[in-house]
Structure 1
Amino acid sequence: MARSRHDLSHGWQFREYDGGSSNENPWLPVQKVPTQVHVDLLADKKIPDPFLDLNELAVRSLPEKQWTYRIQFAKPTDLSSEAPIHTDLVFEGLDTFATVVLNGAEILKSDNMFISHRVDVTSLLRDTNELEIHFDSAMLRGRDLVKEHSHEHTFYVRQTEVSRVPVRKAQYHWGWDWGPILITAGPWKPIYLQQYVSKVDDVWSECEVSEDLRTCSGRIIAKASQASGHSIRLSLSLAGSVIFEKECTINSKGIAETPFLITNPKLWYPFTHGTQTRYELKASLGSYDTLSKMIGFRRAELIQQEDEFGKSFFFRINGADVFCGGSCWIPADSFLSHIPEQRYRDWVSLVHEGNQNMIRVWGGGIYEHDAFFDACDELGVMVWQDFAFACASYPTYKSYLDSVEEEARQNIRRLRSHPSLIIWAGSNEDYQVQERYGLEYNYEDKDPQSWLKTTFPARYTYEYLLPKIVSEEDRFAIYHPTSPWGDGKITSDPTVGDKHQWDIWHGAMNRYQEAFRLSARFISEFGMEAYPHLETIRSMITVDKQRYPGSMMMDFRNKAIDHERRVATYVNENFTVKYDISSYTHLTQIVQAEAMHFAYKTWRREWGKRKCGGVLVWQLNDCWPTMSWAVVDYYLLKKPAYYAIKNALRPLDIGISKKYHDWTSGHVDPTESFKDTKFDLWIVSDRPQSVQVDVAVRFISIHTGQDVKQQVKLDSVTVHPNSTTEILKDYDLIENVTETQNNVQAFDIAEFNPYVIHATLTIGNQLIASDTYWPQPLKYLNFDNRNVTFTSTGDNQVVISASRPTKGFVFEETRGVKLSDNGFDIIPGQEKVVEVSGFARVPSVFRAGSVRVLYFISLS
């Protein structure tokens, strides 16, 4: 008999549990399991949609309630077999404090959302069975745990309330500065019956690619149940051809293993550096069971070496140094059971399309779905996975650590075969909590047991327990104690480890033009807020009179502390402000895009000397429709910032910069930026070989659109491989400049004729990359009369041109429409071609400068 599975997905009911023995609350239908209580209440029209207007407030009382789910099901028909048939009831995930009763007998208690359970129910099944799952309030249980353990631990927390800290549940459910308070409960992952005589529990490889990449050697290991003494076949195949196969005997512990060696292995690379070859790993247990998975071989190293800047932090994959440009990832929905597998693939496809080769799974969410990692494997996107701890001082009492250990082992085992998973990190910003509250931390003390006696006992979890588990479960995995972290130094130290650079937006609120001052060895978080596109705003706020900046509903929607001050500061510092919803949306989006442009360009430039090893924006996505730091909104609509990142991460990219001149502090001269005639020009490359390119630099009047100086042409420039090539340094447009005290002239605003510097990089006749430097701040410039024109080629292309330099041209994106670029600049003499798909007739809105036009572009 082969293993069989019987899904318990339909036929469920649920109701609120009132705590009494004769609960009379009515049973309500459940559409499908997996589910969570908010999803079911919404489907049954018992609550308003929490994603609309102020409706989140209407469901704030739900986390205090208890719920019961039940189903009746028939016993699966036993298939004929000479050997005993085992029946397990499998719960892949219960959210969170759950008591499970089968036919009146308690079979399971769970208090950890992140672990799965398997219960042998062979002797408990009847012809007709009733299964009930009772879910306690995670919030109330969390508060009880805080009280119970307050004598031994002080529960410090950033972001909402302390009850989340002792609960092993997705922490963002308690609300974050980008998401609502929606504390869920329910069977959030599949539940099913599994029947078997013998079965393969897992198969994995423990191997290493040699330094010269010529061999891959190690062990293939399988674990089986009810199969001691049986023979099992372990094999590796490539493109359908078996390249290794071995018959092994399963020992008394259910383990079978064999050494293996592959010569000249085909390797897995991030998509920016090679192909994503994967092998099929299979374990066959005769006619009883077969388990296979797709795996990849790669040599991954985290390079941390002393250098002139401190200590490096970058990744080397298969011998190639890799600049990691990408995003941080939060859960894709407040209701995790609500996310279909295709949506994960769509998200990862956006990452790949945007030239982002790394995504960081943030510690306040979950250990992501297999579909997420499968897509990363297939598309060549590297994953940085935090363990599920974020922004708190976590406890270390025994039952808590036991649960954490089971959670870690289960999820490492589930994810360890994915070649995309490059690094595990112990937590998110928990050492910043240690710093904020002055908790005891002596880096020189290397005794883990002593750490448990300090006011920061979680060090034991991050620096002892988790690395121990990682080394035991996935011996060649990279582990990093937390993010940010730098060998025990203060987390803001830019010379070592990774850094969360929040002096843009938070902290000192540096201007994004100051990104050159804010570099670090690896920037694993930074960001800038922006509104989503108007379609999303209209969908989340249904009251027309509330659709304006600063309305009650708009303010409620934005969970970031002091958001109105920070958004307004960055917008007002850089733009002439209009406060209607369309114009203000546009300005916030351009601020965000400009911040991404300055940051990615500046920090990627430092890759040449490996000063900065990577940049990950906070954040890629949203868990509900809102305004936030996301560069793509909840509905997968890309903000202009997404395209700014995409362009800055091109395999070959060109950059221009000028010296930063302050324009608002004290008695500074606001004209300095416009009088400065010096600039830098560079090219950064991911390519493994040098390449010859042509470079041209134009200087174009913003007022007239005419070239004001002779262009600079540099032909056959050699670009260094996987590095930065500095082309011009402090290049001065005015030769032999002399300054005398007797030749001082006042700045004549009437004669003020600012210009942009526009550089192009071409190979042959093909434009590969370009960059435009605009005088700063943009609000000092006049953007009237840009004379923007459109034409359609009839083959889903729109061609845009302008007679004068145009900043921040934005199509208003809508669901279903896909653009090749957005939020771009238009340079006179050049035609911008945008590929458009999704509609035969695209409703188009563009905004540029102070201009906003609505009309239709026919693509038919």
Structure 2
Amino acid sequence: MMGKKNKYLGLLLIIISLISCDQTPHFISKKIEANWQFKSSKDTLWLKAEVPGTVHTDLLANGIIEDPFYRLNEKQQQWIDKKDWEYKTVFYVDKSILDKEIVELNFKGLDTYAHIYLNDSLVLNTDNMFVGKTINCKSVLKKGKNKLRIVFDSPIKIGLKKRKALGYTLPNAVNDQSENGGLGKKQVAVFSRKPGYHFGWDWGPRLVSSGIWQDIEVSAYNMATIKDVYLKQRKITKTNAVLTAQLSVVATHDFIAFVNVKVDSVLTTHKEIALKKGENRINLPFNINNPELWWTNGLGNQKLYKIDVELKDKEDLLAINTNKIGLKTLKVVQEKDSIGKSFYFELNGHPVFMKGANYIPQDVFLNRISIGDYETMVKNMVDANFNMIRVWGGGIYEKDIFYNLCDKYGILVWQDFMFACAMYPGDEDFLENVKAEAEYNVKRLRNHTSIALWCGNNENLTAWKNWGWIPQTLNTQGQDIVDKVWKAYQDVFHNVLPEVVEEFDNDTFYWASSPTSARGEDATLTAGDYHYWGVWGQGEPFSTFEEYIPRFMSEYGFQSFPEFSSVKKYAEEDDWNIYSDVMKSHQRSSIGNKSIERYMKSWYRTPKDFESFLYVSQLLQAKGMKIAIEAHRRNMPYCMGSLYWQINDCWPVASWSTIDYYGTWKASHYAVKELYKPIKMMFFNNEDKIELHIASDDLKEKPVILRLKTIDFTGEVYNQIEVPIVINANTSAIYFTDKMSSWIRKKEAHNTFLFAEIEDINQSVLDETVYYDVVPNKLKLSKPDISYTVIKDANNNVVVEIEANVLAKNVRLQTAIEGRFSNNYFDVLPNKKYAINFIGKKAVDIESLKSSLDIISLYDAY
């Protein structure tokens, strides 16, 4: 009896899941998301599965494996990717679907080698995780119960076969952790069109999963449907924006249809169209009067126009396509000058300094990233004054929600194609697969206002030219293979990809590789974009950030550990040593923990314990980021971009991220928030002369009052000036210079600092900054008496008011309550009160915050 009840309950869940759908009299679309089961192909026991999902998360949910991220569990789960896996469900189709002329199954994302059986008939094979597939399935469907089964081949077994069939070895970076996967030196990541980071990276684990990673839908329609709409912006003036809606409409027979274009629900274009059976391409011009331009975060509003394209048969709605777009002009400017060639983004006629980071997928298991996670991540960019994010080429072409949010909040996207740190096959099948992938994703993403640039790959060119790959291939395999590998590179990145961009999105700039100075040319500091890894990779001091200034810096960075509360989520007390097996496993850079320790000795004293070491590692990372970003912004407009590596993590790990896997802002993200402010002051010691630079992103000049003071650690002021200045628009300049000895004498450098602030005409402080003339380990700190109160201000914000009797350096506020502080890891200057908001995920009780608040400074770390 219970078995029958469970059966009926399962059928009810299936029916309920199909009720939530898009539906008109002529069009129905429903997700197939209930009652899924999975198993290894050689097993007989079916287990419950979640769709969208992955094999690993389904095994975890069924208790077959433990958390892959905890301690060393990852190492025990390398068997999973060697097996084939099957998923199955049943779904019900009623008369309303089967009566439609066309019934389709839409597989939005299958990872990766999938064989799809509908009612025991093989209907589709797939071999690319990045391409959605749609099939006409009406002839195979039945009224009532239908069976859907998907068999996933092991990407490792397929990869090994392809590697063997290639007949030669492709050079690639050591990020494919084949040895961790039990494959020895047989790296296979480049043979499968799935994310490279699944196979491991120098910040990520090796967890090569399979599964249904995006929705599956059944849809049905009569007469015709809109397959694609490209909203091409032709010309924008102050009074008028001229656009064209380029439609692809598929009709089941010849008939007269009507197309409407609506802008913010107002009809702007109505046209009668004679549709022919099959695909019809239609161009519909339309105008937007008095257009409001879209601007990046910090420069203006992000007005998005809602564009509805309706397809009708007389009065009946057959299909509708909706996009939200911003109106803008954007181009990459490369003009020759006395030094080389510029490289900058010009938005709506204005050069814009790009401030941001590189972004990787937020989890190894993509189904675990919620809409809320995406919203939080993009808001983290906005709150830190970003205006650009680089979607890096070893991850995924992100889901639509990511780009929707970037459109909404004014974050431009440097979009890599999914190739990174390797050379790839060049056979006909591979090239055709890449072409299909590029077409699918360019067409999917091109209407997003945030898409700023298409980039062919990450570091493939610079690796080929500079990482010893050419001589290695020449010495081991000969000139013929060198030529073959290079031809494959050119075929993909100089032919297939630019041709796709030219055909489907020719308004957007294509850049063949990052970094590079020009197509096929090595990166230089005088043209194109640049990745600088002398700091960290070659062990160069932080000061070299001030020497390597390119036209556009698209990668650089320094590592730190997560904070202690995050480490405790994946490590036990016995693991609390940076050289324990667990801490080393959660550090994938071969030079990682030793490098952090070595750099730390140059800047800080030895921390007293493990927790303090984690804290100081974050201060060290923030210090490196400050030196680099200030160097980039000081050298504006020669340098017009600073995208650090990296904003986020895909698992809990010591890495270059400024926000850890659990969403906790590190010291460096708070530092970046300050460093990327629209108007930023920067002190610079230039051969014992102190210079005050101010970089402004503002498109108008701004009159301010500048105040400078020399203050000792007890708060006594020794020297000060106050002068009116006018900050130039959209550039960087020196606004004050003097002998260093006039402000900080060497014998007092250990206990004095230089303080500057600028105040606008409304007496609002736009920025303040502090300069120490010695490194932190030379400062003569004394124990501060830090006092604080927790209040609610007039706007009902929870505020921590904090002050100290002497300099309290790098004050960190911490609480167990979920949320973050508006500022953290900052210097509390003597006798100066600071008001720090606490932004809780839920309503915050003041007493709870008081009782859980923990405050430390650098003094407490020694």
**TM-score of the two chains, using structure 1 as the length reference:** 0.89
Distance 1:713 1:359, change over 3 A: same
Query: SS of 2:56's equivalent?
Result: helix
Distance 1:775 1:635, change over 3 A: same
Query: SS of 1:71's equivalent?
Result: strand
Query: SS of 1:373's equivalent?
Result: helix
Query: SS of 1:601's equivalent?
Result: helix
CA apart distance, 1:452: 7.3
Map 1:648-659 to 2 at 5 A. 648-659=675-686
Write the distance in 2 (CA, Å) between the matches of 1:779 and 1:277.
Answer: 49
Q: Which one of the candidate residues 260, 275, 280 is aligned to 2:286?
A: 260
CA apart distance, 1:392: 0.1
Query: SS of 2:233's equivalent?
Result: strand
Distance 1:535 1:766, change over 3 A: same
Q: Which residue of 1 aligns with 2:115?
A: 99
Is the 2:128–2:433 contact (alpha carbons within 8 Å) kept by the matching residues of 1?
A: yes
Distance 1:625 1:187, change over 3 A: same
Map 1:139-538 to 2 at 5 A. 139-151=156-168, 154-160=170-176, 161=178, 162-197=187-222, 198-210=224-236, 214-226=239-251, 229-251=254-276, 253-286=279-312, 287-435=317-465, 436-439=467-470, 453=484, 455-488=486-519, 491-507=522-538, 509-538=539-568
CA apart distance, 1:330: 0.1
Write the distance in 2 (CA, Å) between the matches of 1:794 and 1:591.
Answer: 33
Is the 2:692–2:735 contact (alpha carbons within 8 Å) kept by the matching residues of 1?
A: yes
Q: Which residue of 1 aligns with 2:38?
A: 14
Q: Which residue of 1 aligns with 2:596?
A: 567
CA apart distance, 1:78: 2.3
Map 1:539-688 to 2 at 5 A. 539-541=569-571, 543-607=572-636, 610-659=637-686, 676=688, 678-688=689-699
Distance 1:553 1:752, change over 3 A: same
Is the 1:208–1:476 contact (alpha carbons within 8 Å) kept by the matching residues of 2?
A: no
Matched, 1:33 2:64: no
| Higher percent of residues as helix | 2
Is the 1:356–1:649 contact (alpha carbons within 8 Å) kept by the matching residues of 2?
A: yes
Task: Describe the superposition over 1:415-461 as per-residue Cα deviations: whole angstroms up to 9, x where unpaired.
Answer: 000001111100000012211235399xxxxxxxx997454521221
Which one-letter code corresponds to 1:129 in the other structure? N
Which one-letter code corresponds to 1:120 in the other structure? N
Q: Which residue of 2 aligns with 1:721?
A: 729
CA apart distance, 1:488: 5.0
Q: Which moved more, 1:399-408 or 1:525-534?
A: 525-534
Which one-letter code corresponds to 2:541 in the other structure? R
Q: Which residue of 1 aligns with 2:10?
A: none
Q: Which residue of 1 aligns with 2:127?
A: 111
CA apart distance, 1:588: 0.5
CA apart distance, 1:38: 0.2
Q: Which one of the candidate residues 693, 708, 726 is aligned to 1:697?
A: 708
Which one-letter code corresponds to 1:179 in the other structure? G
Task: Describe the superposition over 1:304-341 as per-residue Cα deviations: whole angstroms up to 9, x where unpaired.
Answer: 11223321111001111111101110001100122112
Query: SS of 1:439's equivalent?
Result: helix
Distance 1:67 1:753, change over 3 A: closer
Task: Describe the superposition over 1:93-152 as per-residue Cα deviations: whole angstroms up to 9, x where unpaired.
Answer: 11011111112211111110000111111011123221111111112211211110124x
Write the distance in 1 (CA, Å) between the matches of 2:815 and 2:487.
Answer: 47
Distance 1:815 1:270, change over 3 A: farther
Matched, 1:850 2:852: no
Write the distance in 2 (CA, Å) between the matches of 1:312 and 1:251.
Answer: 49
CA apart distance, 1:689: 1.0
Matched, 1:812 2:814: yes
Write the distance in 1 (CA, Å) between the matches of 2:414 and 2:256.
Answer: 37
Is the 1:622–1:630 contact (alpha carbons within 8 Å) kept by the matching residues of 2?
A: yes
CA apart distance, 1:251: 4.8
Write the distance in 2 (CA, Å) between the matches of 1:752 and 1:219.
Answer: 64
Which one-letter code corresponds to 2:736 in the other structure? L
CA apart distance, 1:572: 1.2
CA apart distance, 1:783: 1.8
Matched, 1:5 2:29: yes
Query: SS of 1:793's equivalent?
Result: strand
Is the 2:511–2:519 contact (alpha carbons within 8 Å) kept by the matching residues of 1?
A: no
Structure 2 regions of 5+ residues with no counterpart?
1-24, 179-186, 473-480
**TM-score of the two chains, using structure 2 as the length reference:** 0.89
Distance 1:300 1:504, change over 3 A: same
Task: Describe the superposition over 1:673-730 as per-residue Cα deviations: whole angstroms up to 9, x where unpaired.
Answer: xxx4x3110211111111111111111223x4322x311222x201101111311235
Is the 1:440–1:454 contact (alpha carbons within 8 Å) kept by the matching residues of 2?
A: no
Which one-letter code corresponds to 2:29 in the other structure? R
CA apart distance, 1:218: 4.2
Write the distance in 2 (CA, Å) between the matches of 1:452 and 1:7.
Answer: 48
CA apart distance, 1:544: 1.6
Query: SS of 2:755's equivalent?
Result: strand
Q: Which residue of 2 aligns with 1:48?
A: 66
CA apart distance, 1:216: 3.0
Which one-letter code corresponds to 2:535 in the other structure? I
CA apart distance, 1:527: 0.9
Task: Using the aligned pairs only, state the percent identity.
Answer: 28
Query: SS of 2:188's equivalent?
Result: helix
Write the distance in 2 (CA, Å) between the matches of 1:263 and 1:400.
Answer: 46
Map 1:781-860 to 2 at 5 A. 781-795=779-793, 796-812=798-814, 814=816, 816-838=818-840, 839-840=844-845, 841-842=848-849, 843-851=852-860
Write the distance in 2 (CA, Å) between the matches of 1:388 and 1:752.
Answer: 50
Is the 2:789–2:801 contact (alpha carbons within 8 Å) kept by the matching residues of 1?
A: yes
Query: SS of 1:475's equivalent?
Result: coil
Is the 2:358–2:391 contact (alpha carbons within 8 Å) kept by the matching residues of 1?
A: yes
Write the distance in 2 (CA, Å) between the matches of 1:559 and 1:423.
Answer: 30
Distance 1:79 1:401, change over 3 A: closer
Is the 2:388–2:412 contact (alpha carbons within 8 Å) kept by the matching residues of 1?
A: yes
Is the 1:213–1:318 contact (alpha carbons within 8 Å) kept by the matching residues of 2?
A: no
Write the distance in 1 (CA, Å) between the matches of 2:772 and 2:360.
Answer: 33
Q: Which residue of 1 aligns with 2:22?
A: none
Distance 1:576 1:852, change over 3 A: closer
Distance 1:387 1:762, change over 3 A: same
Q: Which moved more, 1:764-773 or 1:116-125?
A: 764-773
Write the distance in 2 (CA, Å) between the matches of 1:255 and 1:329.
Answer: 36
Query: SS of 1:221's equivalent?
Result: strand
CA apart distance, 1:793: 3.2
Write the distance in 2 (CA, Å) between the matches of 1:495 and 1:315.
Answer: 16
Write the distance in 1 (CA, Å) between the matches of 2:98 and 2:358.
Answer: 51
The number of aligned residues is 801
Write the distance in 1 (CA, Å) between the matches of 2:327 and 2:451.
Answer: 12
CA apart distance, 1:628: 0.9
Task: Describe the superposition over 1:206-265 as per-residue Cα deviations: whole angstroms up to 9, x where unpaired.
Answer: 22334x555433421111222554455545544443344444444553222223344532
Write the distance in 2 (CA, Å) between the matches of 1:579 and 1:138.
Answer: 47
Write the distance in 2 (CA, Å) between the matches of 1:579 and 1:619.
Answer: 28
Which one-letter code corresponds to 1:193 in the other structure? V
Which one-letter code corresponds to 1:711 in the other structure? Q
Write the distance in 2 (CA, Å) between the matches of 1:5 and 1:850.
Answer: 62
CA apart distance, 1:813: 5.7
